Homo-oligomer: A and B are copies of this chain.
Amino acid sequence: MNRYHKPTREEISTICTRPAMDVSALAETVNHIFQKITQYGDAALLDFTEKFDKIKLDHLLVSESEIMGAANSIPVHLQKAITIAHGNITRFHQMQQSEIIKVETSEGVSCWQKSVPIEKVGLYIPGGTAPLFSTVLMLAIPATIAGCEEIVLCTPPDQYGAIHPAILYTAHLCGVTTIVKAGGAQAIAAMSIGTHTVTKVDKIFGPGNQYVTAAKMQAFASGTAIDMPAGPSEALVFADETGHPEFIASDLLSQAEHGVDSQVIFVTTDESLVDRVEAAIEEQISSLPRQEIASLSLAHSHAVSYEDADAAFAFINEYAPEHFIISSDQSESYIDRIKNAGSVFLGNYTPESAGDYASGTNHTLPTNGHAKAFSGVNLDSFCKKITFQHISEQGLAGLGQTIIDMAEAEQLQAHANAVKIRLR
């Protein structure tokens, strides 16, 4: 880890700058894919799957029997774990439901907001050697609680044309209505544009590689909503003198094993911890199967020490970490200092991996400093809020002159007339 004690403004700026992911270079490729999907629909989707995923499919949709067969391939202990996580995630996201509160802003003028599900949502789950069934939980559970009518899930098939049974099992458990064997930019294009088989959705969610990210930006530009801009995953651990070096090291390694571009930051008000954390990392890393990835990621990680918590938190809020672990026996005393973070893990017994899988919070979170302005995925991500107002005849009599005066000052006479004609 690169060490800094009370870094300068320039050093802070360097630490806070994430590796640039310039997806604009992919714009041409992605544009081409969008054009082909627009022109040829399913046929183009099958062609791209053959080209990129090396499998010629007959059908794009996962069949009923594939879904039903999945449970048999999942060990019972994993089924149980998924079910427990499902329960916790459901409880946390159900709690986010809001009641309608009407407010009478003036006499006879009633206003309220109503949360209404987005009708059609698309969930993207990346492929690869490890099946990201946890992301299925994180996206499909709130979509179901919100009441989305159509939930489409796209994920790339393996070289035999199959989807990992853990993904199928979890998707079915969560009530996903349609599972499409398609990945990459072509899957995003299909959900954004719509094909014979793939529903055109209103909003697309989920992680992915740089092509998926570029395709989501293209989808956004052409009118489909997206969950948030994506970037490499990050964790920042803060510890005071009550932090445990072994626990801290394990959290930093959890983040480092994700990928070589993972961002790992350790901030402390106890400089002596830095050596002890580095020693613990050294000890723990040797037994990791993904040791090589973790080492490469740690090579560009940073350890930052400050003398006081105020300065430390000014830096942390500037960094705006996706995952923020507070390793301290007094973790809750720091809460009010937090201005920018995706998800916060409080105390010495709350590892990031708890939130990644099973505590109940969502693991789809803003990276790359976006925590300054974006929330992680939550129930609201699958809804929009519609405002309503009802004005009685007496209410309009009371408020009418205000509307007329303002409309006339903005030189919009028809706006004023709409009131005058009703009060005549």
Contacts and interface: CB of A to CB of B under 8 A. Distances in A.
Interface string A341-360: 11111111111111111111
Nearest to A249: B421
A341 B395 CA distance: 24
A144 to B, nearest CB: 17
Interface in A189-210: 202-203
Given A134-B406, A223-B369, A399-B354, A113 B378 contact: yes
Interface of A: 24, 77-78, 80-82, 84-85, 87-89, 91-92, 95-96, 98, 101, 103, 105-106, 109, 111, 113-114, 116, 118-119, 129-134, 166, 202-203, 217, 220-221, 223-225, 229, 246-247, 250-251, 253-254, 256-258, 284, 287-290, 294, 331-332, 335, 338-362, 366, 368-376, 378, 380, 384-393, 395-396, 399, 401-403, 405-407, 409-419, 421-422
A42 B343 CA distance: 37
Given A254-B412, A412-B257, A402 B357 contact: yes
Given A131-B409, A354-B419, A356-B403, 12 more contacts: A24-B221, A133-B410, A134-B410, A217-B221, A220-B220, A250-B417, A287-B413, A290-B411, A294-B414, A342-B386, A350-B389, A373-B384
9 nearest interchain CB pairs? A105-B360, A225-B373, A351-B418, A88-B105, A81-B405, A353-B415, A250-B418, A130-B411, A375-B385
A340 B119 contact: yes
Contact of A338 (B116, B345, B391, B406): B116
Contacts of A91: 103, 105
A417 B351 CA distance: 10
A421 B249 CA distance: 10
A359 B399 contact: yes
B396 A257 contact: no
B362 A387 contact: yes
Contacts of A348: 422
Contacts of A418: 247, 250-251, 253-254, 351-353
A74 to B, nearest CB: 9
Contacts of A109: 88, 354, 359-360
Contacts of A133: 406, 409-410
Contacts of A354: 109, 389, 391, 396, 399, 403, 419
Contacts of A78: 405-406, 409
Nearest to A120: B372
27 contacts: A81-B405, A88-B105, A103-B360, A111-B360, A114-B335, A118-B373, A130-B411, A130-B412, A133-B406, A224-B373, A247-B421, A250-B418, A250-B421, A254-B414, A288-B417, A289-B413, A343-B386, A344-B386, A344-B387, A347-B391, A350-B389, A351-B415, A352-B418, A354-B419, A359-B391, A374-B384, A375-B385
